[in-house]
Amino acid sequence: MFIRFLVKKVVTIIVFVIVVGIIGYLYISSGLYNVAASDHHTSLTLWTISTTTDNSVRHHAADIVAPNDLMADSLEGFGHYNEMCLDCHGGPGIGREEFAEGMYPLPPTLVGVDSVWTPSQLFWIIKNGFKFTGMPGFGSTHTDKQIWSIVAFTDHLSHMSYRDYMAMQDSLGGESMHEDSDK
Ligand code: HEC
């Protein structure tokens, strides 16, 4: 009796999974899902993405240990930030570039991001980026030391004014962090 009941349940579950799979496949094949960046996610999708992202970053950054002299290279970090992050994320009193306004998700301001993520989590995010968002991973083009310097600079961002930022830009005197890659 019991075995029969169990077999019936298992068959029902398998049929259910197959039907859901077929419906899912038909939906994907139909092209009805709108991939446009101008079409925004539902709140359920947003919740799923942000919860998955939070947990993924926490899990993957768990064993990363920040260097003791983390803040030593923050000026170098500014140079990298200024060239590679400012256009998308903006800065203190500085908006993102026009192209980034059309991105979805929008690149958030990083002013105050040091209170959202720990240095190790920021390191992981900057090194690896986020799939399907436009947030690049910088690990293939930058050393760990350079990435830690960017992490250090994000800590300063929260305490800087627009004027401070501009003064730092002037102090670089047009010097580029990426001269080699332009040649
Ligand atoms: C082409 C645009 C682009 C560039 C360039 C870019 N980012 Fe991002 N970044 C994004 C987007 C889009 C997101 C938002 C992803 C999301 O909502 O899940 C993001 C998210 C982040 C986050 C997580 C923010 C949060 O509140 O959770 C950090 C940290 C970050 N970026 C750092 C950087 C740094 C540092 C640089 C430069 C080295 C950089 N990004 C360059 C587009 C960009």
Per-residue model confidence as pLDDT tens digits over 114-123:
999 999 999 9
Q: How far is the CA of 17 from the centre of ligand 1 (A)?
A: 37
Domain-by-domain residue ranges, the chain? Answer: 1-33, 43-178
- The dihedral region occupied by 45, where left means phi > 0, alpha psi between -120 and 50, and beta the remainder, is alpha
How many CB atoms within 10 Å of residue 78? 24
152 lines ligand 1 (CB under 6 A): no
pTM of the model: 0.90
C-alpha torsion angle, residues 152, 157, 158, 164 (rounded to 10): 130
Q: Could you say which of 3.40.190.10, 3.40.50.620, 1.10.760.10, 2.40.50.140 is the CATH number of the domain covering 43-178? A: 1.10.760.10
For 69-127, write each residue's pLDDT tens digit: 888 877 899 999 999 999 999 999 999 999 999 999 999 999 999 999 999 999 999 99
Q: How far is the CA of 125 from the centre of ligand 1 (A)?
A: 8
Residue located nearest, by CA, to atom 34 of ligand 1: 85
